[in-house]
Structure 1
Amino acid sequence: MIATKIKALLALTGKDHSGLAGYLGISKQALSNKFYRDSFSAADLIKISEFTGAPLCFALDNGTKVVLELDKEDTV
């Protein structure tokens, strides 16, 4: 489950749920719902990686890594 990994990432980076909710521009209750439902969008995951300072990437079988970043034009 991605929610468990996000919680671990927050703990490792010393970030909290309240700060993440603010960074995502949603209420703490809305963030709690995302954790409960394990329903994070690709844009959420990219923003979480920026918030924590951890890159979000896909590792392919051949060793290639594709790093996802949010276009600055997409930010509100």
Structure 2
Amino acid sequence: MMGRFSTVFGLVEATFIVFFTLAIGIAAELIEIRLVYVVGSFLFLGLGLAFNAIVQKKNKRNHYQAAE
């Protein structure tokens, strides 16, 4: 049963990758590519900082520590 869920999630992930790649390509064609690159870089930086903040919360730390 778990294999089916991971297959569905893999398909969804691949679909998102295709759509994001297509969106970035279209944006680069319509707008200056340097602007698309800079905006994308800042968006991924913000996403990374948000994930870091979530992981560093005290009530979430036990999920990311190694079991003894």
TM > 0.5 between the two?
Answer: no
Greater Rg over alpha carbons, structure: 2
More strand by share: 1
TM-score by length of 2: 0.26
